[in-house]
Structure 1
Amino acid sequence: MEQILSRQEASEAVQDAGWRFLLGTLRTSVPVGSSARAIGLAADAVAACGDDADRHLRVDARPDRVVFTLQSLEHAAVTTRDVELALLISATADRSGFLTEPEIGTGAPRSVQMLEIAIDALDIAGIRPFWKAVLGYTDEAGATGPEDPLVDPFGQDPAIWFQQMDRARPQRNRIHFDICVPHDEASRRIETALAAGGRLVSATRAPAFWVLADLEGNEVCVTTWQGRDG
């Protein structure tokens, strides 16, 4: 029977196979080298997943790499079936001479990651309909409340979530990025950002997230799955 996994359970189940848990999904990248190889590998992975491909798998095929993302669309979470499919895709890639990997420390431009946009608001229920309409977004599966996140129905653009403010803070940016990276990539990403002129604003919620800012005070959060269960 398909069961929803905790963040730690999902992460540990696939880490050795080159997948990482990011924002309620499993994600990996496969360097390929050409569009033909990318499409071929994507087709092989879809075939290996069978009917479950439509319910769990998203594929982004580019000339240089294929990015696979797994999540149960029914549960909007990672399940035991997603883990099974991840291992199946890794085995399929291996038979074709490819490697599923998070691209950490490989010389790739970046690791696998996911981007969210956070909007600070005093009245979340009041502004949420505007952002839903102007972006053409929809409710996240199983989260249709007046303060819940919004997602791109095509799964291409960043999700939007709303952070409750207790008072107006005009000197602080009200919209910021959350960069969700693999838990074993976070320290390197932060060090790189600090070396590029950034500063650490807060690490009080690490390893769930660190708050960084540029020279003008614009903030960004580097986030991981850790420190959120329990």
Structure 2
Amino acid sequence: MTPNRLRRADISTALVDTEWRFVLGSLRASVAVTSLAEAAEVAARLAPTGEGLTLDLRRDRVALTIQSDGWVTAADVAQAKRIADLVELGSTGRSEQVVELAIDAMDIARVRPFWRAVLAYTDESGAGPEDGVVDPLGQGPSVWFQRMTEPRPQRNRIHFDVAVPHDEAQKRIAAALEAGGTLIDDEAAPAFWVLSDPEGNEACITTWQGRD
């Protein structure tokens, strides 16, 4: 971990008693609004707080993301706390989350250029030939590649990763199981749990925990 980056547990602890959540290397929260005009007012109020902030304005909410250089720093945490003093953060219908697509591949360096091109995506910061690709507009899910040791033609080779706050994971898993899903593997929990739908298509619920 580089000096300006915080450890996952320290980030989460710093957010206790706030509406901010640490999800997949970023701080996330939302502000409920009733119109685009109100959303624009919120954006104008928050714009001077710092460079690490990204805003997604909708007519019913403003989604806030804070991240510096691909991770969260002490300055980002301080910025999040300043923002909490300026606007009312809270729930806008579901918890914060980040969705990733994972593609299983025998030769990542060979298949990665195709996905980068067909999605019109770009490299992650500092990415190598086997790293993920991301939407340059920040609208679509990122795509990463998981190496297979042998072909698996009998099962799906694309699965969803749904990154949620650590205190949301059990609720999300319970909802998936009640909806007909199956818990396939929890050996790596609380970093991730592998679930499947009734036909065997897989999704992982992931958190920051168990990764430091």
How does the TM-score come out when normalised to structure 2? 0.95
Provide the C-alpha distance between the structure 1 equivalents of 2:123 and 2:73, rounded to a whole number of angstroms: 21
Which residue does 1:28 correspond to in 2? 29
Tell me the percent identity. 56
Assess if the C-alpha contact under 8 Å between 1:151 and 1:159 holds in 2: yes
More helix by share: 1
Partners of 1:71 and 1:199 lie apart in 2 by 34
Query: Gaps (5+ residues) in structure 2?
Result: none
SS of the aligned residue for 2:56 comes to: strand
The corresponding residue for 1:96 is: none
**Following the alignment from structure 1 to structure 2, what is the Cα–Cα distance between the partners of residues 141 and 149?**
10
Q: Which amino acid aligns with 1:171?
A: Q
Q: What CA distance in whole angstroms lies between the structure 2 residues aligned with 1:215 and 1:113?
A: 23
Partners in 2 of 1:100 and 1:8 — Cα distance?
22
**Is structure 2 residue 17 aligned with structure 1 residue 16?**
yes
Q: Which amino acid aligns with 2:70?
A: A
Following TM superposition, by how much is the alpha carbon of 1:223 offset from its aligned partner in structure 2, in angstroms? 0.6
1:60 aligned residue = 56
Give the deviation of 1:71 after TM superposition.
0.4
Please tell me whether residue 100 in structure 1 is matched to residue 89 in structure 2: yes
Corresponding residue number in structure 2 for 1:76 = 70
CA contact (8 A) 1:76 1:142 kept: no
After TM superposition, the runs of 4+ consecutive aligned structure 1 residues lying more than 3 A away are none
| Alignment match, 2:39 | 38
* Alignment partner of 1:206 out of 181, 189, 204: 189
2:114 — aligned with what?
A: 130
Tell me how many residue pairs correspond in the alignment: 210
| Number of the residue aligned with 2:136 | 153
- 1-structure distance, mates of 2:164, 2:16: 14
RMSD (Å) for aligned C-alpha atoms:
1.2
Is the 1:120–1:163 Cα contact (8 Å) retained in structure 2? yes
Gaps of 5+ in 1: 94-98
